[in-house]
Protein backbone atom coordinates (compact mmCIF):
# COMPACT_ATOMS: atom_id res chain seq x y z
CA UNK A 1 0.00 0.00 0.00
CA UNK A 2 2.81 2.41 0.90
CA UNK A 3 4.63 1.57 -2.36
CA UNK A 4 1.48 2.37 -4.37
CA UNK A 5 1.09 5.71 -2.60
CA UNK A 6 4.73 6.61 -3.23
CA UNK A 7 4.55 5.63 -6.91
CA UNK A 8 1.32 7.62 -7.34
CA UNK A 9 2.80 10.62 -5.52
CA UNK A 10 5.89 10.46 -7.74
CA UNK A 11 3.80 10.37 -10.93
CA UNK A 12 1.62 13.21 -9.65
CA UNK A 13 4.68 15.29 -8.78
CA UNK A 14 6.14 14.68 -12.23
CA UNK A 15 2.86 15.77 -13.85
CA UNK A 16 2.66 18.88 -11.67
CA UNK A 17 6.19 19.86 -12.69
CA UNK A 18 5.42 19.31 -16.39
CA UNK A 19 2.22 21.33 -16.14
CA UNK A 20 3.85 24.15 -14.17
CA UNK A 21 6.74 24.48 -16.63
CA UNK A 22 4.46 24.50 -19.65
CA UNK A 23 2.04 26.98 -18.08
CA UNK A 24 4.90 29.31 -17.12
CA UNK A 25 6.19 29.24 -20.70
CA UNK A 26 2.71 29.83 -22.15
CA UNK A 27 2.03 32.77 -19.81
CA UNK A 28 5.39 34.39 -20.58
CA UNK A 29 4.93 34.07 -24.33
CA UNK A 30 1.35 35.33 -24.29
CA UNK A 31 2.32 38.34 -22.17
CA UNK A 32 5.20 39.18 -24.51
CA UNK A 33 3.08 38.84 -27.62
CA UNK A 34 0.14 40.65 -26.01
CA UNK A 35 2.24 43.69 -25.17
CA UNK A 36 3.02 44.33 -28.83
CA UNK A 37 1.06 46.99 -30.69
CA UNK A 38 -0.44 45.38 -33.78
CA UNK A 39 -2.88 46.42 -36.46
CA UNK A 40 -5.40 43.58 -35.85
CA UNK A 41 -5.20 42.60 -32.18
CA UNK A 42 -8.12 40.19 -32.47
CA UNK A 43 -6.31 38.23 -35.19
CA UNK A 44 -3.20 38.03 -33.03
CA UNK A 45 -5.32 36.86 -30.10
CA UNK A 46 -6.76 34.05 -32.23
CA UNK A 47 -3.31 32.82 -33.23
CA UNK A 48 -1.97 33.09 -29.69
CA UNK A 49 -4.94 31.13 -28.30
CA UNK A 50 -4.56 28.40 -30.94
CA UNK A 51 -0.87 28.06 -30.11
CA UNK A 52 -1.48 28.11 -26.34
CA UNK A 53 -4.19 25.45 -26.46
CA UNK A 54 -2.09 23.26 -28.77
CA UNK A 55 0.86 23.45 -26.41
CA UNK A 56 -1.36 22.65 -23.43
CA UNK A 57 -2.78 19.64 -25.28
CA UNK A 58 0.78 18.40 -25.80
CA UNK A 59 1.45 18.89 -22.10
CA UNK A 60 -1.62 16.84 -21.18
CA UNK A 61 -0.58 14.15 -23.65
CA UNK A 62 2.83 13.95 -21.99
CA UNK A 63 1.12 13.66 -18.61
CA UNK A 64 -0.99 10.76 -19.89
CA UNK A 65 2.21 9.09 -21.09
CA UNK A 66 3.75 9.57 -17.63
CA UNK A 67 0.74 7.80 -16.11
CA UNK A 68 0.87 4.98 -18.66
CA UNK A 69 4.55 4.42 -17.83
CA UNK A 70 3.67 4.50 -14.13
CA UNK A 71 0.95 1.88 -14.64
CA UNK A 72 3.44 -0.28 -16.54
CA UNK A 73 6.11 0.06 -13.84
CA UNK A 74 3.68 -0.70 -11.02
CA UNK A 75 1.72 -3.41 -12.88
CA UNK A 76 -1.41 -1.46 -11.99
CA UNK A 77 -3.34 -1.91 -15.25
CA UNK A 78 -5.38 -4.97 -16.14
CA UNK A 79 -3.46 -7.67 -17.99
CA UNK A 80 -3.46 -7.02 -21.73
CA UNK A 81 -4.80 -3.47 -21.40
CA UNK A 82 -3.63 -0.72 -23.72
CA UNK A 83 -1.74 1.35 -21.16
CA UNK A 84 -2.09 4.68 -22.99
CA UNK A 85 -5.83 4.14 -23.37
CA UNK A 86 -6.13 3.06 -19.74
CA UNK A 87 -4.16 6.13 -18.58
CA UNK A 88 -6.14 8.49 -20.85
CA UNK A 89 -9.49 7.29 -19.56
CA UNK A 90 -8.35 7.57 -15.95
CA UNK A 91 -6.62 10.93 -16.52
CA UNK A 92 -9.65 12.51 -18.16
CA UNK A 93 -12.09 10.78 -15.78
CA UNK A 94 -14.30 9.83 -18.72
CA UNK A 95 -14.88 6.37 -17.38
CA UNK A 96 -15.05 3.18 -19.39
CA UNK A 97 -18.07 3.52 -21.65
CA UNK A 98 -17.07 0.31 -23.35
CA UNK A 99 -16.73 -1.66 -20.12
CA UNK A 100 -19.88 -2.31 -18.11
CA UNK A 101 -20.05 -4.96 -15.41
CA UNK A 102 -22.59 -7.64 -16.13
CA UNK A 103 -25.19 -5.89 -18.26
CA UNK A 104 -25.35 -3.47 -21.16
CA UNK A 105 -26.99 -0.21 -20.08
CA UNK A 106 -28.67 0.58 -23.39
CA UNK A 107 -29.78 -2.94 -24.20
CA UNK A 108 -33.43 -1.85 -24.49
CA UNK A 109 -32.56 0.70 -27.16
CA UNK A 110 -30.48 -1.84 -29.07
CA UNK A 111 -33.14 -4.50 -29.38
CA UNK A 112 -36.82 -3.73 -28.74
CA UNK A 113 -37.49 -7.43 -27.98
CA UNK A 114 -35.25 -7.21 -24.89
CA UNK A 115 -37.24 -6.86 -21.67
CA UNK A 116 -36.98 -3.53 -19.95
CA UNK A 117 -35.78 -3.35 -16.32
CA UNK A 118 -38.63 -3.75 -13.86
CA UNK A 119 -39.59 -0.97 -11.49
CA UNK A 120 -37.25 -0.83 -8.53
CA UNK A 121 -34.43 -2.59 -10.38
CA UNK A 122 -31.42 -0.85 -11.74
CA UNK A 123 -30.21 -1.33 -15.31
CA UNK A 124 -26.71 -0.86 -13.95
CA UNK A 125 -26.73 -3.99 -11.78
CA UNK A 126 -26.90 -7.51 -13.10
CA UNK A 127 -30.31 -8.94 -12.43
CA UNK A 128 -30.69 -12.37 -10.95
CA UNK A 129 -31.75 -15.10 -13.33
CA UNK A 130 -35.25 -16.46 -12.80
CA UNK A 131 -35.43 -19.88 -11.18
CA UNK A 132 -37.10 -22.62 -13.19
- DSSP for 2-50 reads HHHHHHHHHHHHHHHHHHHHHHHHHHHHHHHHHTS--S-HHHHHHHHHH
pTM for the full predicted model? 0.61
- From the list 6, 15, 3, the residue with the least C-alpha distance to 90 is 15
Q: What is the pLDDT of residues 19-55, one digit of tens each?
A: 999 999 988 888 888 777 778 878 888 888 898 899 9
Every domain of the chain and the residues it spans:
2-77
pLDDT score recorded for residue 99: 46
Q: What is the pLDDT of residues 6-16, one digit of tens each?
A: 888 899 999 99
| All residues at 6 or more sequence positions from 97 whose CB lies less than 8 Å from its CB, including other chains | none
pLDDT score recorded for residue 124: 44
Q: What is the pLDDT of residues 76-112, one digit of tens each?
A: 777 787 888 888 888 887 665 554 444 444 444 455 5
Report the half-sphere exposure of 63 (CA within 13 A, side-chain side): 22
- From the list 87, 42, 40, 82, the residue with the least C-alpha distance to 61 is 87
| All residues at 6 or more sequence positions from 62 whose CB lies less than 8 Å from its CB, including other chains | 18
65 pLDDT tier (thresholds 50, 70, 90) = very high
CA distance 109 to 116: 9
Q: Is residue 68 packed enough to be buried (19+ CB in 10 Å), middle (13-18) or exposed (0-12)?
A: buried
Q: Reduce the DSSP state of residue 121 to 3 states and report it.
A: coil
Amino acid sequence: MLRQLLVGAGASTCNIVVHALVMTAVVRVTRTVGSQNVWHPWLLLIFVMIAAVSILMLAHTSEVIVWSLTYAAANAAPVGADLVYFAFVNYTTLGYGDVIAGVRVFRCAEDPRMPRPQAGRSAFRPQSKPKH
